[in-house]
């Protein structure tokens, strides 16, 4: 793969070519080849009982020369490394006792070099044939980002010293399903193809097809000239084949307090600076788990040893098609009768006072603010003197249910300062209070960004600004109707736009999401998510074509 070592090699080659075609240029200084080059090797763990080492495959190799600038080691196992100091420790991973010819080039001024070699015989005992079988299917297997899964990209503390209770999983950040796939700066992240092959000699190899561009971490963009301001896609050549060596994990996973957690204990190292999909500057990954269909890996951030990154892959491209487990329609309002909303299905919240979010509207039950015509419910926010009026419809005490799929087809207001919402609240709100009652926000849109919609879950410990939330691009939210849906089971809550999941949350017996909830439809003005209101605002409408509940 083209990488920093590649560019160093090109530079050295060009410099050597230049010096062969012209006389020494005094402005460049004298061109001097290194002399007195020698190399030595010490096999780790070598003694009378273990003449070929302790089985780890480690060898300490040192080179010395006069007039050198740097050294390049070709280890004879298909890998190489530039080592300015001349001293390195290399792990040879081919199982058994094997002899390698290590070639060392001492590089001098102007790119001229001297070389020598040494033979190293070393034993490596570690192997993980089952992991190789899973990775390659016995021959060759291609993996894809598990973009439909929660935490396909994750971030957490690197070790117990940083966070003793949460260092083996992505505690700090877990990507939501298909997060980043629809964003221009990160869409390249979701179309990578990672192929592992088991060669006839037992060597594991790897190729990354990035379809021309790679998703770069902001702190690792120097190689492509990025400014590091945010993670972005850059054109990048990942052609070529990398060798993969397996080694025991350097982590002591026995200290993990979660007794249900078991790491595989196998680490992978890729030659030629190869990497797995997301460019973090690292070529070393630990296999947390692997099977015939799923691969979960962990790597440390090259720029910050306190950070661990997690990636999930699968053996088929991620599909964003959604199949509900609920198919029986149990309640609906199709809004097909002109006039007032159906009083057997909807009641109102009334009044002003900010509603806990510094909102500026007063809610009414008049036809100025809510009515049905031409097959849709209209919720109208209006300027009214020095204030605003709107409507908040709810199914409290009329339609309340536990679990199911709620689907609402709606077109949203486009005016600055409008805050439309389609949401649900625990039916025990009056007694338990908020957030103990739980809240499921199927759709919200801020007053300042009409090209996105979001979903959220509020519960004790995760409410208000700490809610479980995610947003998705929705460029035509104010000009076209879209389906806003929640799929709610005892095990998971998924929030979707047009049958594409963008937020997924594991439901458990400990959350408030295992009892009756009721539905709410409203348009607020201003407040925490409405923001500043257009000073020329007169009125705007959220139209709802239907509300359907399936169980």
Q: Which residues are catalytic?
A: 439, 444
Q: For residues 375 and 125, what is the distance between their CA atoms, to the nearest angstrom?
A: 73
- Secondary structure letter of residue 183 according to DSSP: S
- Helix (H), strand (E) counts: the chain: 4, 38
Question: Taking Cα atoms as reference points, which of 506, 307, 544, 316 lies closest to residue 423?
Answer: 544
Q: How does 32-59 read in b/e, with b if 16+ C-beta sit within 10 Å?
A: ebbeebebebebbbbeeeeebbbbbbbb
CB–CB of 309/298 below 8 Å? yes
Q: For residues 92 and 100, what is the distance between their CA atoms, to the nearest angstrom?
A: 9
HSE, side-chain direction, 13 A CA sphere, residue 395 = 23
HEC sequence for 343-367: CCCCEEECECCCCCCCECEEECCCC
Q: Which token pair is 506?
A: 């594991």
Instruction: Please provide residue 365's backbone torsions phi and psi, each rounded to the nearest 5 degrees.
Output: -115, 20
Q: For residues 169 and 428, what is the distance between their CA atoms, to the nearest angstrom?
A: 34
Q: For residues 180 and 278, what is the distance between their CA atoms, to the nearest angstrom?
A: 12
Instruction: Please provide residue 44's backbone torsions phi and psi, each rounded to the nearest 5 degrees.
Output: -65, 130
CB–CB of 545/374 below 8 Å? no
Other C-beta atoms lying within 10 Å of the C-beta of residue 195: 16
Query: Is the sign of the CA dihedral 28, 29, 31, 36 positive or negative?
Result: negative
Q: Which residues contact 239 (CB under 8 A, 6 or more apart)?
A: 1, 2
In DSSP notation, 310-349 reads EEEEESS--------S---EEEEE---S-BSPPTTT-EEE
Q: Which token pair is 249?
A: 């994990």
């Amino acid at each position: 793969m083209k990488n920093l070592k590649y560019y160093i090699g090109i530079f050295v080659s060009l410099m050597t070519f230049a010096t062969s075609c012209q006389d020494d240029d005094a402005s460049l200084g004298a061109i001097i080849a290194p002399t007195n080059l020698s190399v030595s090797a010490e096999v780790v763990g070598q003694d009378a009982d273990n003449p070929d080492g302790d089985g780890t495959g480690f060898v300490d190799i040192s080179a010395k020369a006069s007039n050198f600038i740097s050294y390049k080691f070709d280890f004879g196992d298909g890998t190489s490394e530039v080592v300015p100091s001349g001293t390195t420790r290399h792990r040879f991973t081919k199982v058994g006792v094997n002899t390698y010819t290590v070639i060392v080039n001492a590089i001098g001024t102007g790119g001229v070099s001297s070389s020598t070699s040494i033979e190293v015989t070393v034993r490596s005992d570690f192997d993980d044939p089952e992991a190789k079988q899973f990775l390659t299917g016995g021959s060759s297997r291609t993996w894809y980002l598990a973009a439909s899964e929660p935490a396909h990209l994750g971030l957490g503390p690197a070790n117990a010293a940083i966070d003793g209770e949460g260092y083996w999983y992505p505690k700090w950040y877990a990507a939501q399903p298909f997060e980043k796939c629809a964003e221009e700066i990160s869409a390249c992240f979701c179309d990578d193809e990672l192929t592992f092959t088991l060669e006839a000699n037992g060597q594991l190899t790897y190729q990354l097809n990035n379809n021309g561009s790679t998703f770069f971490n902001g702190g690792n963009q120097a190689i492509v000239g990025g400014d590091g301001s945010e993670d972005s896609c850059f054109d990048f050549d990942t052609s070529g084949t990398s060798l993969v060596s397996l080694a025991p994990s350097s982590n002591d996973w026995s200290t993990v307090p979660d007794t249900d957690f078991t790491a595989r204990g196998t680490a992978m190292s890729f030659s030629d600076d190869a990497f797995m999909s997301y460019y973090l500057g690292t070529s070393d990954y630990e296999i947390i788990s692997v099977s015939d269909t799923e691969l979960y890996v962990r790597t440390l951030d090259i720029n910050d040893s306190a950070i661990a990154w997690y990636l999930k892959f699968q053996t088929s491209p991620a599909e964003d098609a959604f199949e509900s487990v609920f198919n029986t329609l149990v309640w609906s309002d199709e809004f097909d009768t002109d006039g007032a909303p159906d009083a057997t299905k909807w009641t109102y919240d009334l009044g002003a006072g900010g509603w806990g979010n510094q909102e500026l509207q007063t809610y009414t039950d008049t036809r100025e603010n809510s009515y049905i015509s031409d097959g849709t419910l209209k919720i109208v926010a209006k300027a009214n003197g020095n204030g605003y009026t709107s409507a908040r419809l709810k199914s409290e005490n009329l339609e309340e249910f536990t679990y199911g799929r709620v689907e609402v087809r709606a077109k949203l207001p486009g005016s600055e300062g409008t805050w439309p919402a389609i949401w649900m609240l625990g039916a025990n709100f009056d007694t338990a209070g908020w957030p103990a009652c739980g809240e499921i926000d199927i759709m919200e849109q801020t007053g300042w960004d009409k090209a996105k919609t979001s979903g959220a879950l509020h519960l004790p410990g995760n409410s208000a600004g700490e809610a479980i939330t995610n947003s998705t691009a929705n460029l035509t939210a104010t000009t076209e109707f879209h389906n806003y849906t929640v799929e709610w089971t005892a095990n998971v809550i998924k929030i979707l736009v047009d049958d594409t999941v963008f937020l997924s949350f594991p439901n458990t017996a400990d959350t408030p999401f295992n009892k009756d909830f009721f539905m709410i439809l409203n348009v607020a003005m201003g407040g925490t998510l409405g923001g500043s209101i257009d000073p020329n605002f007169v009125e705007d409408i959220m139209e709802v074509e239907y509300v359907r509940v399936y169980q």
